[in-house]
Structure 1
Amino acid sequence: MMEYILHIDGDAFFVGCELTRRPDLRGRPVVTGAERGIASAVSYEAKALGVVRTMPIFEIRKICPEVVVLSSDYELYSLMSKRMYEIVRRFACKVEEYSIDECFASISFEDDARAEDLLALARKIRDTLSEELGMTFSVGMASTKTLAKVASKAEKPNGAVLINKKNIKEHLRGLAVEKVWGIGEANRAKLERLGINTALEFQNKERAWVENNFYKPQQETWHELNGVYVLPVQTVVDVPKSIQKTKTFTPSSMERSFLWSELSKNVENACIKARRHGMEAGRILFFLKTQDFRYSSFEMRLQSKSARAQEILSAISPLFAQVYRQNVLYRATGITMSDLAPVEAGQVGLFDEAQKSRNNRLTKAVDAIDRKYGKHSVFLASSMQKENTSKSARKKEDGIPSEYLFFGETARRHLRLPHLGIVS
């Protein structure tokens, strides 16, 4: 038996998700990222007109007046991402959820499997994803993760490519070396100084040369480009050492209540992620970022470990004035949770234990509602201004058209019910 690696990559994934509920926009130049003022995803129609990711929205409107600019809906993207993983699991037992818009999968075939059969499976996965999710995906198949990544990028969008011993050099010959996963721009200058400009030139180097000039990550990439399986498909999600949530908004603001609401939403998101991993934080750092990219922050140790937003915001509240300055324009807020430990590891007093137990029951109830109706169906009232701003910016209904729901899946309904009062 021989193991093959699949790389499944959503084509302009965020835009693709938006088009599932706005099919009237298909064929038009569309970008997401209105809330940040820069493009977070770009449709292929927009790319053809010169629009690229991270381009400021005002510049995009200059070169492409007909562009449709949408605010990002990360709850929708997360839901569609989970659907993608589940569909891929119908074809493969080992699936690595690499990022919100891509995953790896491992499938075993007989040693004498024909290339036509391998490619047929890649196309089947691609077509199933497209039919059930209403957007396009590109699928690459090869003997290693690095080559599978090369394959998935080769014929975007809606591609299905197999790289094997017969065509590997063909795919690497014209590929800029910095485009290889694991190389990137950080190593491009060094490789150019060493006379390496393409992936094939790097692959053709002797092992001793690679080991003398590069560290382990680049050595692993070299092995993978030569078809040697080094990087396994990781099916176990690593527990993070820290959790950070930050969000850029546009236009910039100096309004204290708005900034507090933005920070409150980030704290809620960070706590949701911590609880998902069964972790609590002992230290936090919160910050504001000014319009000219300067940071003002405060780091503190919590009296007891927590993954509950209302407790963390109560700790931040008396210190917020030390970070916030009047008449200063801010463009982002954020929080970092560190000193993470499993929930059951903390030691608290008898009274604190009773209070913590009540808070835990309340938090579990909120999490259960969110799982049923969608993330942030119930949220802190201190996040209300942020929620209302996001709702107004989108100017469209939440939820997903019923024709795209899976069997047994409930359309997301945002109840807009705050809980626990305002923390200010």
Structure 2
Amino acid sequence: MSEIFSGGTIPKQKTILHMDGDAFFVGVEVARNPKLKGKPVVTGEERGIVSALSYEAKALGIIRGMPIYRVKKDFPKVLILPGDYASYARYSTMMFDVVRRYADDVEEYSIDECFADLTGLEPPLKMTYRQIAERIKKEITEELGLSISIGVAPTKVLAKVASKWVKPNGLTVITASTAPDFLAKTPIEKIWGIGPRTAVLLQKRQVHTALDFATKPLAWVKQHFSKPYEVIWQELNCISVMEIDPMPKTVYSSVQKTRTFHPPTNDKTFLLSQLSKNIEDACAKARHFALVPKKIAIFLKTQNFKYVTGTIPIASPTNAPEVLISLAGEQFKGMHARGVLYRTTGVTLQELVSDSVSQGDLFGSTDRANKFELIHKQIDSLENKFGKRVVYLASTHNALKRKKIGTDPDDLDRNLLFL
């Protein structure tokens, strides 16, 4: 038995809440259009694959990542929607704001889940921890029309176990005394931070449940695994060592835009136009966060799911698509192969820095990029007022003209929080 569960001294405990949106993207769509409630719905039309699905769609056998064309063919009654990522971001903010009514320290872990430190809030709020969670759940459901699941526990790892215990629309509280019962019923591979390979290694050592791992001596964990797994062991033993990070996420290390189309093609003009569209969208997102990249990576994915990639350093970091499209076009020449069919294009803006700290150059390219950036800020303002794609580059035209063979809507913001 572990030092904790065998009756050792338990340190002063925290109370951590984990909130997880139930099928969040689809949940937002239902909140905006209640007529969708109870129907099989998937989002991801613009990406060519299922990015989110309702529980009704899941019951039919649809899974995340399934190609949209297959959903249309095999499940003709399923409603397929393009992702509205601007709306998802807005609902995410409103959802987290409800949690902040009750807790000061809230960590936005992803667009649809957060942690909150409730420690010590029972006396001032005159509610139990369960009642605080119930109040948060009630207000999010009534005000936003969203279904969420909440877990409350002494640590972040245990709170994640709790939030997944009953889904959808669940609320589960784990305490130090009940933790062993929950962990005994949780497969080790279901624990946050335990990947498939580590799970296999643990199973070979007869560790099949979370309780098997938690009751191993700490010395055994240190002997066989690295520091992160020692942290997981401590968290499973009700020792809170993973801190809440209350800083909202506003800066990103990369921005990625991809497009899958059907049928696959070898058409150079079409592929370059898709890359142009990828770059326009990625640059718009970078401008949204006032960021510029130091590198740009492009890729082509073949019909056989093989990747061809290329990375280009940017001498003068910029979020003007004209400059990056020129660089990508040169790289594309060495990547495209005759006779090979491609099904996806993608762009990643890497090593992002604030647009206020990007450096100039000696050959005038910075001045040129700055002029383009000023133009695109005006275009951004126009699109905010009149809608997306009121102005776009000529190099993107073919991608929009032939949109019918793909799966993309005219929505620049569709990947606002996807990296």
Interval containing the TM-score (normalised by the shorter chain): 0.7 to 0.9
- Cα offsets for 1:292-326 (capped at 9, x unmatched): 11222333222322222222112223443333345
1:85 aligns with 2:96: yes
Answer with 189-198 or 329-338: which moved more: 329-338
Contact kept in structure 2, 1:2 and 1:111, CA below 8 Å:
no
- Cα offsets for 1:40-81 (capped at 9, x unmatched): 222112233333323445665687554333333333333332
Counterparts in 2 of 1:212 and 1:315: CA distance versus 1, 3 Å: same
| Secondary structure of 1:150 counterpart | helix
Q: Which residue of 2 aligns with 1:405?
A: none
Q: Which residue of 2 aligns with 1:292?
A: 304
After superposition, residues 204-215 of structure 1 pair within 5 angstroms as 204-215=215-226
Q: Which residue of 1 aligns with 2:347?
A: 335
- Following TM superposition, by how much is the alpha carbon of 1:288 offset from its aligned partner in structure 2, in angstroms? 1.1
Counterparts in 2 of 1:209 and 1:276: CA distance versus 1, 3 Å: farther
Answer with 327-336 or 74-83: which moved more: 74-83
1:282 aligns with 2:294: yes
Distance 1:377 1:227 in 2: 55
Q: Which residue of 2 aligns with 1:361?
A: 374
- Following TM superposition, by how much is the alpha carbon of 1:340 offset from its aligned partner in structure 2, in angstroms? 4.0
| Secondary structure of 2:118 counterpart | strand
- Following TM superposition, by how much is the alpha carbon of 1:330 offset from its aligned partner in structure 2, in angstroms? 1.6
| Secondary structure of 2:334 counterpart | helix
- Following TM superposition, by how much is the alpha carbon of 1:361 offset from its aligned partner in structure 2, in angstroms? 3.0
1:118 aligns with 2:129: yes
Q: Which residue of 1 aligns with 2:315?
A: 303
Counterparts in 2 of 1:273 and 1:230: CA distance versus 1, 3 Å: farther
Distance 1:397 1:284 in 2: 24
Q: Which residue of 2 aligns with 1:346?
A: 359
1:313 to 284, 301, 325: 325
| Secondary structure of 2:349 counterpart | strand
RMSD of aligned C-alpha atoms?
Answer: 3.5
Distance 1:139 1:271 in 2: 36
Q: Which residue of 2 aligns with 1:165?
A: 176
TM-score, length basis structure 2: 0.82
Contact kept in structure 2, 1:75 and 1:374, CA below 8 Å:
no
1:41 aligns with 2:83: no
| Secondary structure of 2:314 counterpart | strand
Distance 1:291 1:12 in 2: 30
Q: Which residue of 2 aligns with 1:270?
A: 282
Name the structure where strand makes up a greater proportion of residues.
Answer: 1
Contact kept in structure 2, 1:143 and 1:227, CA below 8 Å:
yes
- Cα offsets for 1:188-246 (capped at 9, x unmatched): 11011010111111111111111111111211111111111111122333854444333
1:246 to 247, 255, 258: 258
TM-score, length basis structure 1: 0.81
| Secondary structure of 1:98 counterpart | strand
AA matched with 1:193: K
Structure 2 portions without partners, runs of 5+: 1-11, 414-419
Number of corresponding residues = 400
- Following TM superposition, by how much is the alpha carbon of 1:337 offset from its aligned partner in structure 2, in angstroms? 2.8
After superposition, residues 225-264 of structure 1 pair within 5 angstroms as 225-236=236-247, 237=249, 239-264=251-276
Contact kept in structure 1, 2:163 and 2:170, CA below 8 Å:
yes
Runs (4+) of structure 1 moved beyond 6 Å? 111-116, 371-377, 388-399
Counterparts in 2 of 1:268 and 1:99: CA distance versus 1, 3 Å: farther
Distance 1:168 1:390 in 2: 52
Distance 2:44 2:385 in 1: 27
- Cα offsets for 1:85-136 (capped at 9, x unmatched): 3333333222222222212222332588999721111122122222222221
AA matched with 1:335: V
2:207 to 190, 196, 208: 196
2:231 to 215, 220, 225: 220
| Secondary structure of 1:304 counterpart | coil
- Cα offsets for 1:330-376 (capped at 9, x unmatched): 22111233344443241334855544443343343444556677776
- Following TM superposition, by how much is the alpha carbon of 1:166 offset from its aligned partner in structure 2, in angstroms? 2.8
Distance 2:256 2:193 in 1: 23
Counterparts in 2 of 1:350 and 1:324: CA distance versus 1, 3 Å: closer
Higher RCO (C-alpha under 8 Å, 6+ residues apart) = 2
1:179 aligns with 2:193: no
- Following TM superposition, by how much is the alpha carbon of 1:149 offset from its aligned partner in structure 2, in angstroms? 0.9
Contact kept in structure 2, 1:71 and 1:393, CA below 8 Å:
no
Counterparts in 2 of 1:223 and 1:113: CA distance versus 1, 3 Å: farther
1:17 aligns with 2:28: yes
- Following TM superposition, by how much is the alpha carbon of 1:6 offset from its aligned partner in structure 2, in angstroms? 1.8
Distance 2:93 2:402 in 1: 26
Distance 1:293 1:315 in 2: 25
- Following TM superposition, by how much is the alpha carbon of 1:329 offset from its aligned partner in structure 2, in angstroms? 2.3
Contact kept in structure 2, 1:140 and 1:150, CA below 8 Å:
yes
- Following TM superposition, by how much is the alpha carbon of 1:4 offset from its aligned partner in structure 2, in angstroms? 2.5
- Cα offsets for 1:128-161 (capped at 9, x unmatched): 2222222211111222111111111111101122
